[in-house]
Amino acid sequence: MFDIKWIRANADAFDAALATRGAQPRSAELLALDDHRRQVIAHLNEAQETRNAASKQIGKAKAEKDDQRASALMDEVAHLKSTIQKGEAEERELEANLRQKLAELPNVPLADVPVGEDEDGNVEYFGPNSSRELAAKARPPKPEFAFAPKQHFELGEALGGMDFETAAKLSGSRFVVLKSQVARLERAIGQFMLDMHTLEHGYLEVQPPLLVRDEPLYGTGQLPKFLADQFGVLKDVTAEEQSERMWLIPTAEVPLTNLVRESILDEAELPLRFTALTPCFRSEAGSAGRDTRGMLRQHQFNKVEMVSITTPEQSTDEHERMLACAEKVLSRLGIHYRVMTLCTGDMGFGAQKTYDIEAWLPGQDTYREISSVSVCGDFQARRMDARYRPKDGKPRYVHTLNGSGTAVGRALIAVMENYQQEDGSIAIPDALQPYMGGLTAIGNS
């Protein structure tokens, strides 16, 4: 969400930023609306001032038992009542109108974000040193196979650990039933990641609600624009019409970021770092037909999420730090990956800048997104009214960041495809063995 004052002062930059996201210029329209709003406020304040002064006099007169003077004063300001009421109503309406328009505008990309229309405009990122060699050295190499590697669902079904048919009977397409050692492996991956972020990276473990009201979704930017991507539930299905609606979280970013909503934090407590392992629910309404096979794109999946709340000065460094935390997961698992800086046209609604981590999937012979790490500036903070108090001075909006660390379902896919053996069994990466009771492989016993 934008500060209308910022738009007033930076109208051209604002319109230019919208253009990089493929949107039309809006500053003229918004500023005209704001001018009108301010005019109304000025008139309203004037009328209120007159009324307040008179009311004080009336109070005084009544205290002095001077009823004549009191009623004379009352007559004098009686007509202001309707003026004020009209002004208040008009201000409310203009305010809501402006807020609604601002709420549907995407965030402005940072200056170093590549400009592009879609994912073809994304640029590979080799770390703060921009060194392809250093990055290649630090990351696990691409595995080589003496046989044709299979896709995860072929492996999973053969192991008796992935059942899409039964899931479809229960819930329709884009669900899966995991069983036996595959289910255990999925659980192990989640625990491994969560332990890493809490024990090594300084994140606070949180178990948030999975069901939230409208406001948190509005705060992080899923509402009002992306209503169709959400799963909603009714609190009382027997009273469908009057029933309160709640939302299944599409990501733990929603409850974790909103932990600080409507608060003023102390500067000394920043940055705050939260992590959670939660199921995520997405209706993905627009993407029917993409990745229909396997568990790459599901209505429900587990994900370890990281969220940081920082000062404006800290946020870009925190972004690099968070990316490093997510990369560490893949390094430790020994999975080859690359990092992409998303271009302006491919970034999410609330992001100023986003890195995607794409894991190598040998079965698909391609890289697939497994983590997305974004810095949002004060965009979400404004929507949530989340601020901090600098050592000396007025409250300022915090900056927020979020990143997957990482998607558990997709990590399962990556582990299975990268660690598959010719006989269809899956070797267990060293890092996961403690979480698998010491097993070194599944499926060959």
Query: Which residues are part of the catalytic machinery?
Result: 282, 297, 369, 372, 410
Q: Please report, for residues 2, 24, 66, 270, 400, the alpha-carbon distance to residue 216 in angstroms, rounded to integers and kept in the order given.
A: 17, 28, 54, 21, 14
372 carries a ligand binding annotation: yes
315 carries a ligand binding annotation: no
| Binding residues for RNA restricted to 220-249, rule: CB under 7 A | 244
> What three-state secondary structure class fits 93?
helix
Q: Which residues pair with 340 in a beta bridge?
A: 124, 356
Nearer to RNA, 78 or 199 (CB): 78
Q: CA nearest 175: which of 278, 90, 298?
A: 298
Peptide bond into 406 cis (omega under 30): yes
CA 122 to chain centre: 20
Pairing of the two strands 386-389 and 263-266: parallel
Q: Is 58 in the site for RNA (CB under 7 A)?
A: yes
> Which one of residues 22, 59, 141, 160 is an interface residue with RNA (CB under 7 A)?
59
Q: Is 45 in the site for RNA (CB under 7 A)?
A: yes
418 carries a ligand binding annotation: no
Return the ∠ at Cα 291 (arms to 288 and 292), rounded to 5°: 65
Site size toward RNA, by CB under 7 A: 37
Residue 57: CB minimum distance to RNA, A: 8
CA 345 to CA 342: how far, in whole Å?
Answer: 8
253 carries a ligand binding annotation: yes
Q: Could you please report the per-residue DSSP string of 134-150?
A: HHHHHSPPPP--SS-PP
305 carries a ligand binding annotation: yes
3-state helix, strand, coil in the chain (%, to 5): 45, 20, 35
Stretch that binds RNA, among 42-50, 277-285, 322-330, 415-423 (CB under 7 A): 42-50
> Which one of residues 49, 124, 266, 313 is an interface residue with RNA (CB under 7 A)?
49
Tally of CA atoms within 13 A in the half-sphere of 391 that contains its CB: 1
Site string for RNA, 64-103 (x = CB under 7 A): ------x---x--xx-xx--xx--xx--x-----------
Q: Is 63 in the site for RNA (CB under 7 A)?
A: yes
Residue 218: CB minimum distance to RNA, A: 14
Kindly list the residues in this chain that would bind RNA in the complex (CB under 7 A): 4-5, 38, 41-42, 44-46, 48-49, 51-56, 58-60, 62-63, 70, 74, 77-78, 80-81, 84-85, 88-89, 92, 244, 264, 389, 394-395
Which segments are annotated as binding site for L-serine? 251-253, 282, 305, 402, 404
Question: Binding site residues for ATP, as ranges?
Answer: 282-284, 369-372
